[in-house]
Amino acid sequence: MKYEIFGRKSTGFPGLCLALLLFAQSAHAALDPAFTGAWFDPEFNGAGFFVEVLADDRAAVYWFTYDDNGGQNWYFGVGATSTNRIVIDELMQPVGGIFGVGFDPSVIDFITMGNASIDFSDCNNAKVDFLVNTVSSNQQLTRITNIRDIKCGATASIEADITRGPVNQTGSWFDTKRSGEGFIVEVLENNLVVVDWFTYDPDGNQAWLTGVGHAADDYIHVENMLITRNGRFGPEHDPASVERINWGALELRLNCDGGSVVYDTDSTAWGQGQHTLSRITSIDGLECEYESFGPLIEDKLAGSWVSDGFGMVGAISATGFSLMQVTASSCIEVLAGPKAALLAAGDELTMTSTGDRLRFEGLDSVTPVDFNRVTALPSHCQNGGTGSSNDPRTIFDAFYDTFNELYSAFEVREVDWAAARERVLPLIKPGMTQGELFVTLTSMLSPLRDGHVSLLGANRSFFSGGSAVTAALRTRAESQPARQIIRNRLGGNLLVAANGVFTYGLTDNGMAYLEIRRFFDFLPNATEEETLAFLRPELDRVFDFFNDNHSRGLILDVRRNSGGNLNFGLEIAGRLNRGVTRQIMSERRPVSSELNTAIALSVEPSAGVRFDGPVALLTSPLTASAAEIFTFAIASLPHATVIGQPGAGVLSRAERLLPNNWLVTVTAGQVESPSGQAYEAVGVPVDVATAVFSTQDLNRLVDSALDRAINLLESDAD
């Protein structure tokens, strides 16, 4: 085994001055891998160390520090380990780099600055002694971070749990074409990740960036990377003088051995860009357990399967399969068929190479549903499940358990579900009619006021969402004055596409305008594939029109869009993506009393006609469901601004059958932004708040949100 630290081959091998090669030793590392993490001296807050315990009696150490003038410096070294000690004979400083496209690895010079040693007194305390540029001193270190799944102390162990996400992303990474700079990744608890970037500034000085991000699948999103200044090397360092400045956003996508990074800043000097990454190091004993999903392996399909937080189980035999929705009291078959149907599912059904996990697309969920292999199904799911029943108590128990186990928004919507059960249970009687039962159950749902909660049955339908305020807003939004204002701003020239779902045109100053009324009913009685085949040339026609007219910006309007099929929204969002696959959101689902690992959703650049100019997205409290997730997609683009008012806060959704074949819909997960923020019940936020279809605006024949978008795009164009 060998290691390269940011591509450096060092003086340990005469004549090889551009890489540090560490060859495998026979003995196992004596230093506990649990010492891996970030460390600092509180008296030197604003600076610190990252320690990574490697195999072969080695450890890598990175030092975040400063020069004598307040600029950033960083050093690194690889040293030999013994019990509770690291000795670094050569502490190196790379110089000569420059940020961005001007980076040239051939001019990087690695200067030996001195040496250092770290002695660990316990899991959380250590002392570093160092000699740097004739300055000899020491610092008393305290641990800052603990790597997930690695326990320190007398019971030191590594217990990687892949169902909580890929901890193996921890380590150092670099672009092989950019030897001399690189990244440190630390996977912590609760889907948190620390990312450090050792690089250079646009003027050629050393620079280091650091930020705390959020992990979902193989994505890591850091909303705010920080850069510091005004520290000092040595005793003149004053923690109170250190400034922490927002630098920009970072998104990494990492598997076992490689990945990519995309960065966005508002600075013209730093700009935007992307790099391909390769792994340099990993923690001793932490094997890579991340597995990507690939084609089905037919001889590994048979068995019992339980979903990861979506209340479903499956049984696959040599000839057929059965998929059931499960609660503590019910297990109802919803899909069955021959095994050949699974094998023909294509991209909708994938499997890890070990055959221990399945991933289903399109199970009435925003993100895919993962299934884990188990030895046997729950007892009440065997022999076909619990079957049908018209017994009121059986129906009530399945109804209650469905929400108790799946619904993710009781706290934010301030509903005590257990108390609701105690209130209603005495009303559930053997002789009650189906109509009486329907009214009783809906009385429990009314307080949720959730647009994704409904009950359909007994020739009735009930929807929990909506209010007098949103009803009044809907009336104003659909009024003739609201429509006329938009028509006026487009010079009376409104064009229609996609069977009336799209309305588009140009404002009087040449900005493109596209309203998307919904993400469904593009074609009557059409499949998703048929609809996409129809939608793509329609989008080509619309975006060709904008490009042919040299539109300097695009206004997307989803203020009256209540949702539909998210894949149609992602197809549109891909037309605005400038060439990088981006995570737009993630979803976590209840498992017992906790939420499971986040599953990411991304938007890829489209192969169709694109629009690459700045984008303004208009939203309102009527923007819901797939339209709100579409908002996530557009908001992820660095050239987009969201204007208006937050959406309805109606995001995750699942359908469930009750024993009497009634259908209930439920908010069955927590949809989060790439930075880990949840917006259920509060709505996806806007960047610029304005009035939306207000009475005052309509009386004055103005549209504040539309006007603000036009002015913003005009200023961007100038």
pLDDT of residue 1: 29
The one-letter code for the residue type at 551 is S
More confident residue, 597 or 284: 284
pLDDT > 50? residue 4:
no
Q: 8-22, 489-503, 662-676: lowest mean pLDDT where? A: 8-22
pLDDT of residue 290: 60
Report the alpha-carbon distance of residue 506 to residue 367 in Å, rounded: 35
The tokens describing 52, both together, are 């990574």
pLDDT of residue 458: 83
Angle at 658 between CA 653 and CA 660, to 5 degrees: 145
Q: Are 428 and 400 in contact (CB under 8 A)?
A: no
| CB count in 10 Å sphere of residue 300 | 16
Q: At what angle do helices 566-574 and 528-548 cross, to 10 degrees?
A: 30
**How confident is residue 186, by pLDDT bands cut at 50, 70 and 90?**
very high
pLDDT > 90? residue 380:
yes
Instruction: List phi, psi (to 5°) of 98.
Output: -145, 145
pLDDT > 90? residue 392:
yes
**How confident is residue 323, by pLDDT bands cut at 50, 70 and 90?**
very high
Q: 161-175, 379-393, 613-627: lowest mean pLDDT where? A: 161-175
Q: Which long-range contacts (CB under 8 A, 24 or more apart) does 128-132 make?
A: 128/49, 130/91, 132/75, 132/91, 132/233
Cα–Cα distances in angstroms (integers) from residue 163 to residues 95, 368, 472, 527, 595, in the given order: 41, 14, 45, 33, 12
In 3D, which of 310, 334, 329 has the Cα closest to residue 421? 329
pLDDT of residue 658: 97
- What's the whole-number mean pLDDT along residues 360-387? 89
- What's the whole-number mean pLDDT along residues 129-138? 93
Report the alpha-carbon distance of residue 590 to residue 592 in Å, rounded: 6
**How confident is residue 29, by pLDDT bands cut at 50, 70 and 90?**
very low
pLDDT of residue 189: 86
- What's the whole-number mean pLDDT along residues 200-224? 93
In the three-class reduction of DSSP (H, G, I as helix; E, B as strand; rest coil), residue 483 is classed as helix
Cα–Cα distances in angstroms (integers) from residue 78 to residues 60, 530, 664, in the given order: 4, 58, 59
Report the alpha-carbon distance of residue 199 to residue 175 in Å, rounded: 12
pLDDT in tens, 87-115: 999 999 999 999 999 999 999 999 999 99
* CA dihedral sign, ordered 166, 168, 170, 171: negative
More confident residue, 431 or 9: 431
pLDDT of residue 339: 87
- What's the whole-number mean pLDDT along residues 165-185? 86
Report the alpha-carbon distance of residue 669 to residue 311 in Å, rounded: 11
pLDDT in tens, 410-428: 999 999 999 999 999 999 9
Cα–Cα distances in angstroms (integers) from residue 12 to residues 8, 108, 138, in the given order: 11, 18, 26
Q: What is the rounded (10 degree) CA torsion for 478, 479, 480, 481?
A: -120
Buried (b) or exposed (e) across 174-186, using 16+ Cβ within 10 A?
bbeebbbbbbbbb
| CB count in 10 Å sphere of residue 82 | 11
Buried (b) or exposed (e) across 695-713, using 16+ Cβ within 10 A?
eebbeeebbbbbbbbbebb
Contacts of 325 (CB under 8 A, 6+ apart): 311, 312, 331, 332, 334, 656, 657
Buried (b) or exposed (e) across 135-144, using 16+ Cβ within 10 A?
eeeebebebe
Cα–Cα distances in angstroms (integers) from residue 160 to residues 32, 414, 444, 480, 567, in the given order: 16, 36, 41, 60, 34
Specify the pairing of strand 615-619 against strand 554-557.
parallel
Q: Which residue has 């990252």 as its token pair?
A: 50
| Rg from Cα positions in the chain | 29
Secondary structure percentages of the chain, helix, strand, coil, to 5? 25, 35, 40
In 3D, which of 37, 61, 283 has the Cα closest to residue 160? 283
Q: Are 307 and 370 in contact (CB under 8 A)?
A: yes
In 3D, which of 561, 549, 538 has the Cα closest to residue 507? 549
pLDDT in tens, 442-460: 999 999 999 999 999 988 9
Angle at 211 between CA 40 and CA 617, to 5 degrees: 165
The one-letter code for the residue type at 365 is S
**Whether the predicted model's global pTM rises above the 0.85 cut:** no
